[in-house]
Each structure stands twice: as structure tokens, then as C-alpha cells.
Structure 1
């Protein structure tokens, strides 16, 4: 078991053992009866590998969470992925994850026996997606695990039937409901590293290439943006060392990352239909995990993202740093808008919200299109994480906070046949440190007034990402 928490929020980094199936939750308040479907989320559920504790938040064993909605009721299911990584942990073996490396001697022997890099992890703990008829758990290693969207039972490894090469994969697939396709990318190492951009048709669930773009570094690219006609890759100065990739003593992906303070950040704008690089833009350096949204505005491509001054956030989320310094010591991301003008290469930068934020989402039907509202986790207050609704046109923000409550990634669900962009609800899991259990919170999407909360039977570790599936 994990050590007892020295801070209340450390409940969010304590392993859970029990799995629940279709547990009906008590509801305080009223969940709208029109809300029907499921929020399926992904994240770590266990931080122990044999007798070893994970080194980083990103390393915990994948556990899916399902919040089902039907006629005003809420049910909860959680289930660990039955992966090779979990089997190895159950057998007492160490892990080779983002920052947690196994025994270095064992890793070297594995390298020699395989005559090459070891098999990438299948600990798919970052995100979920629907690919054709399959529901799939994703991570940044090029291995994906299919699961049942109701029971969350593992169905086996999901494999593409194409020949697109990938050494790193994105867990952030960009869904475009208007064009009925999903956009993704992957990274290929080598003497000339590249990013491969691809589309996934919603009806067939297969990948087809869009473009291959030269990489500088390559960079550690966690997310991307799309507009109606573009894909935008943002390459920051956090580089992946190819030399270290090939070294048998490297113990985790974190060891491969080097921040080049002398390099700038690079925006690569690609035409979604032709695959041509429209233009590459160079800017002052920054680091970013997550994009908010992007859209075309006359002759400009507008890209909104969460920016950090450098890569300090990556190491600030190690379990050692969190235990010593807490969330409050981690740098805050800021909403930043970049206006890119392909005609003359001009870049304009602005910031309309001064608060810290992360894990941003927008209403699904506005992804890749002009939008007004974004919802995100608010991060710059002690003793809590809040929720923020940002009006990206006026810069005005509406916030919700409650002391001792740590809100995770929010998802806006539109009311059926809604006319207004913010007509619906926002649903978000949260950790209530006073009650020592997690909650599912439901807010009015226009006002952020709390409509309902449903306490879970236990405290769930902080997760990463999820999607709302109306037909799950």
C-alpha cells in the first residue's frame, strides 16, 4: 500500500485496490434527465510496481473510470486495464514508464537479448477514443488497448492495419464531428526524424496519411490543433535526445528530454486536404502540454493553448517533487492565443486570462471552429483546484472554487438541440479532501452554478483525460 498522505491532496496519489461495477451513486441536487450517456476517463490507479513506487504521476497503472447517466441517475464503474504492464507489476517486476525505470541491469540484459530497444509499454493510462466500433485506451507509446465501453473489461490490444511508422504516438486525437473524421499524429525517430499526420474516418475506423513533416529535435509534442482546413503541430524546445533513445541504460522517457533554452518554438501549419506545409512560424520559446482550440479567421490561423515559460512543470509533477513541494509549487499554465498569418509569416501573441489553468476543453461541436467558451481546471489557488469558464472573445472569466476540492478535467455536454454554445452542463470529477473521497460534479454550463454532486465510494487517484460518449 502507499504511505499515508502528508497533505490532504496526496489522497489523489494513493493507489486503489477495489473495482466497482455499475455502482449507483447518491446524488445531492438534480442531474438533468436529458443527460444520457457516459463520461469515460483514464488515468493512473496504482503507483506500485512490485516493491517499487512509481517516480512520476504519469507512471501509474492505467485504470478506466466510467460515469454513466440515465434519467437523472449516476452510476460508477472503475476497472484496471489488464495489460502486460499490469501483469509485470503483479509479478513483482519493475516498470519502464515515463520516469520510472526498472532495474538498470535487467534493462541492459533485456536490450541485449532483444538486439534492440525493448518493447514499448502498453500501460495506456492517458486518454480514451472511439475508433470505428472500438473504444480504445491511449498513451504516448505506440500501443493501444481496446475495452468494453459499459463494463470497461479489457478486450485486447488494438492494432492498426497500415504501415505508418511510429515510435511515439499521440494520446490526443482531435475529433471533428463536422467532417466526421479524427486527426492524429505520431513521431518517427531516425537520422531525419519526422511527424506523420493522419486521419481516421468515423465510418471505417482506419488511418490514412495526411502528411509527413520534418521534425526539429524531434520535440516532445503532446497535443495538436485542427481547424476546418488545417492541422497545426507546435514544437517547443523540449527535445527528445535520439542518442539517449539508443542508450540501453536509459530508464524512463523523462531521461530522454532536454530543454534547449536557445531554441524557439515552432508552429507548423499543414493543409488537411493536400498535406502541403502552408507555413512554418518561429516564436519565442515556451512549453505546452495541451491545446485549447484553433480556427480560421479570414487570413489568419488562430491557435489557443496553455503555455508555460519552460519545461519545469514536467519535473514538478514527479511524485517526489509533489511530496516535497506540493501542487502550489508547480508553475501555472496561462491561456495564450497565437494569430498566425501564412501570407507574410507574421505572428501575434495575446493573453486574455491571467489566472492559471490546465486541462482545457471546448464544446465538442466547436472543435476546430470559431468558438467563444472554453472550460478548464483553474490552478493558481492554495488548498484547491477550481473550475473556470473563459469567454475567449471578451477575456471575462467565471470561476468556481471550494476549499479542499480538487477539480479535474471538465467536459461540457450540450443540451439536445441547444442553440447557444453554452446551453448544457459541465461535468467534472473532483477529489474532496475533507470527506476523503472523490465526487462527480455537475454544473450549469452558462453560469457554473453547481447543479449536482455524486460522491464516489472511495478516493480515486487524479486522472488525466476522458471523453463523453452519448451512445456508450
Structure 2
């Protein structure tokens, strides 16, 4: 269930507040003291208020509109027209009071636009315009003029999803990794909505989070955290997370590592462009885009990291100085290193010089880093990094960590005398 956290920093003091999102799903589960609304990886238990026949017939309810769809929006905070919402990958959002964390209203995307859901990771223009998409695609990047959809060989088996209750399986059982297909990039003109004719392909990979994208010399440059195996969702199941010792090591070793990669997509490729030659004019990147005989453009990536990152277990949850450098050429991003199934370090990556700076404390697990710029500065890394750090050690306290974004030196921490779970995404808001 979605548990909201808030650290309020004011006049040298920090106040912590947490609250379960009062979603319809949370209320139903609380009343019955069990999971009665299915989640992505959790199959609902039969409603104890139903008789035997009703329980049997409930197995034949279809998901979505024909059954209760979860409104447990537990992935990300998003902002639309100055209001804050909690989102996930379904058709629901929950509007919240950003100060009190109280739920204000539930919003159903499908009543406004023809989608069955939307991603939990919108992009924003400097004027406040938000861009999102129906979640037939899992992720996208954005530059000043283009949106990049990434079609990955992760498929949804509708038959498995529809029959999930009958088979006693969660929705996640209907997701499959099919590496016999390549990954494709679709580039759309943001102003006209028209798909560009270029057919950009690469070897199969999976990406959950994009780092940044920008335009340069007639190309779109897109940087992603990539994995070469799309079966990681199978590993992050509760029975694996509860393992210890060799069992936990075995689960971790089966996870594909996530590494930052750059792809270059030439936008205006003529019919007479030579085959077999690199069409990228960017001298600073080893990423290539080669036209093939069938007209497709085969894209090979550039690694944006040194070998040191392999020792850190790769990187995920990338963040940049979004307000000043989203959609622009940039140098730094921040993320979590994964020497364990959950992130155990904070990492600053210099994508120009390909160097790392790492913060770590043994047996502590930091959340996604949030970059907060120093007011008035033009320096890309002029700011601080905020991260919520937790530990299973009962003798230690969880805390909000503040790092200098330039050198990763600790500026301070605010300890919290309560236990809290590991989280995914957060946001910084000035009130």
C-alpha cells in the first residue's frame, strides 16, 4: 500500500510525517484485513463476505473495467497545473494536499482521454506543459522538439492477463521478455504529433528510466539506463526478497545490471544516404547509426560509465538538474548503485569524463537522489542531493541525507526514530 513520506525543512529544523494514502484499495483491504484488490504482482484473496458460489464465480471476472482496478498509486509524485498527484501505471491518479498528505480526490484518466492508463514519469517543458502517454509504451524521452518512444521486446500476453484469476496468478505473470525481437526507437514531432519516418533499431534491451535527451547537429541524443535481460521483474518477488545468505545471493546474481548508455538518432536521413556508414556527425560520441539495405538504421550505443561502475552493481533511478538541463546537453547525473537487490549507494556520474563519485555507508540503503539547485546559480552541479536512507539494523536510525552535489560530501542528516520501507521516487517542493 502507498505510504507517503514528508520531510519538512524549515528554519534549521526537520519535521517528519508519514501517512498511508487513503485510496479505495487501501480502505477495502483494511476493512477485510487482507488484499482484496489485485496489484501488479499480488493476486487478491477471495472476499470473505462472499459465499462459496460467489467466490467461485469471482475467478471468472475480467480485469480492468469488469473488476476492481487498483487505485493504489504508489510510484511517483507528479504535478499538473500546480496541483500534486500520486501516480502509478494504471488509469488512476490521486490528488493530494502536498502539506498534509491528505487525499483530496481520485482522478480517472480514461474519462478525459482514450487511454487505459498512463506512465508515472511525465516530462515537463519550462512553461509547465506536461507530457505523458498511454502505457502501451513503458518509457519515453523528450527534447525541445521531439518525444522519443522506446518500443522494447517486453510483451503483454492478453490471454494470460485475462485468465490470471482463474489460473491463480498475478497480472505480472502476463509480462514476458522476448529477445528474439529488437528494440525500436520512435521519434515524434512534439509540435505536430507526426511520427518521423526514420526506423531506428538496436539490439534488445530493457529500460525503466531515461537519464536525459537533447538535440545536436541534426540528431537526437538519448541517454538511458539499460539492461540486457528483461526478466528482472521475476526476481523482485516477495519470496526472493525474504531470502537470506546464499539464497539471496543467488537471487541477486540472476539480476541483469543496469548501465548508462547513449544512442544517437540522425533525424534527416535521405534516401541516398550511403549504406554501411555511420551517419552520426557527433565527434564526441562513439555511438553509431548505420543505414542498412532495408532502410532501417541500426543504432549501437556508447557506454557512459567507467569500469568502476560494474563494481557498484550498475546504476538506476537516474536524476539530473532537471529544471535547467532537461532536454539540453548536460554533464552530470545522479543515481543509486546496486550491489544488493535494493540500492546501497548514491552515485554521481560525469558522462563527459566518465568518472564516478560514490557515497555509501555499510548496511544502509538510500532512495532515489533528488537534486535541489542552489537559487541563482548557473552551475550544473550547484546544489544539494537529498535521499532517504534506511537500514534494517534495529540499533541504527533511518535518516534524510543531504550531500553537496559537487563533491558528495555530507552536509547533514536528519535522523528519524521510526521504521520506514524502501521507496522509489520523490520530489522537492517549496511551500
Q: Which runs of 5+ in 2 are unaligned?
A: 47-53, 270-296
In 1: Cα distance, 2:103 partner to 2:138 partner: 25
Q: Which one of 38, 44, 47 corresponds to residue 96 of structure 1?
A: 38
- Computing the radius of gyration from Cα coordinates, the structure with the larger value is 2
What's the secondary structure of 2:187's corresponding residue? strand
* Matched residue SS, 2:114: coil
1:310 equivalent to 2:229? Answer yes
- What SS does the aligned partner of 1:290 have? strand
Which of 376, 382, 391 is equivalent to 1:423?
A: 382
1:358 aligns with: 316
Alpha-carbon distance change, 66 to 382 in structure 1, aligned in 2, over 3 angstroms: closer
2:74 matches 1:125: yes
User: What's the CA shift string for 1:423-468, capped at 9, x where partnerless?
Assistant: 1100011113444432100000100001111111212100111111
Which residues in structure 2 correspond to 1:407-418 (within 5 Å)? Answer: 407-418=366-377
Equivalent in the alignment of 1:261: 179
Q: After superposition, what is the alpha-carbon deviation per residue over 1:5-53, rounded to whole angstroms, capped at 9, x for unaligned?
A: xxxxxxxxxxxxxxxxxxxxxxxxxxxxxxxxxxxxxxxxxxxxxxxxx
What SS does the corresponding residue of 1:465 show, helix, strand or coil?
coil
**Larger strand percent:** 1
How far, CA to CA, are the matches of 1:302 and 1:348 in structure 2?
12
- Conserved in 2, the CA contact under 8 Å of 1:299 and 1:343? yes
Quickly say closer, same or farther: Cα 1:286–1:429, change in 2 above 3 A: same
In structure 2, the partner of 1:237 is 153
The answer for the alignment partner of 2:192 in structure 1 is 274
Q: TM-score, normalised by structure 1?
A: 0.75
Structure-2 change in CA distance of 1:437 and 1:285 (3 Å): same
Q: Is structure 2 residue 344 aligned with structure 1 residue 385?
A: yes
CA distance change for structure 1 residues 106 and 222 in 2, over 3 Å: closer, same or farther?
farther
Whole-angstrom distance in 1 between the partners of 2:426 and 2:162 = 33
Choose 129-138 or 344-353, whichever is displaced more: 344-353
* Number of aligned residues: 378
Equivalent positions of 1:37-186 (< 5 A) are 61-90=1-30, 91-94=32-35, 95-103=37-45, 106=55, 108-109=57-58, 111-112=60-61, 117-160=66-109, 163-176=112-125, 178-186=126-134
Report the counterpart of residue 141 of structure 2 in structure 1. Answer: 225
Whole-Å separation in 2 of the counterparts to 1:84 and 1:161: 18
For structure 1, which segment, 65-74 or 293-302, has the greater mean C-alpha deviation from structure 2 after superposition? 65-74
Q: How far apart are the structure 2 equivalents of 1:179 and 1:223?
A: 22
When normalised by structure 2's length, the TM-score is 0.82
Q: How big is each residue's C-alpha offset from its partner over 1:72-108, in whole Å with a ceiling of 9 and x where there is no partner?
A: 3222111111111111211234230011112478485
Tell me the residue number matched to 1:348.
300
How far residue 383 of structure 1 moved from its aligned partner, in angstroms, is 9.9
**Structure 1 Cα separation of the partners of residues 58 and 417 of structure 2:** 43
* Contact 1:338 1:347 survives alignment (8 Å): yes
CA separation in 2, counterparts of 1:306 and 1:108? 43
Matched, 1:339 2:264: yes
Alpha-carbon distance between aligned partners in 2 of 1:359 and 1:383, rounded to the nearest angstrom: 11
Matches of 2:17 and 2:200 in 1, distance apart? 45
Contact 2:317 2:368 in 1 (8 A): yes
Alpha-carbon offset, residue 379 of structure 1: 1.3
Q: Deviations over 1:116-170 (max 9, x none)?
A: 6313210000001121142111011111111110110111212459642222320
Unaligned segments of structure 1, at least 5 residues? 1-60, 188-194, 196-220
Give the match for residue 249 of structure 1: 166
Q: What corresponds to 1:402 in structure 2? A: 361
* d(CA) in 2 for partners of 1:367, 1:289: 18
Match of 2:421 in 1: 461
Per-residue CA shift, 1:323-360, capped at 9, x if unaligned?
A: 23437433321111111113333523111214211111
Equivalent pair of 2:229/2:256 in contact (CA under 8 Å): no
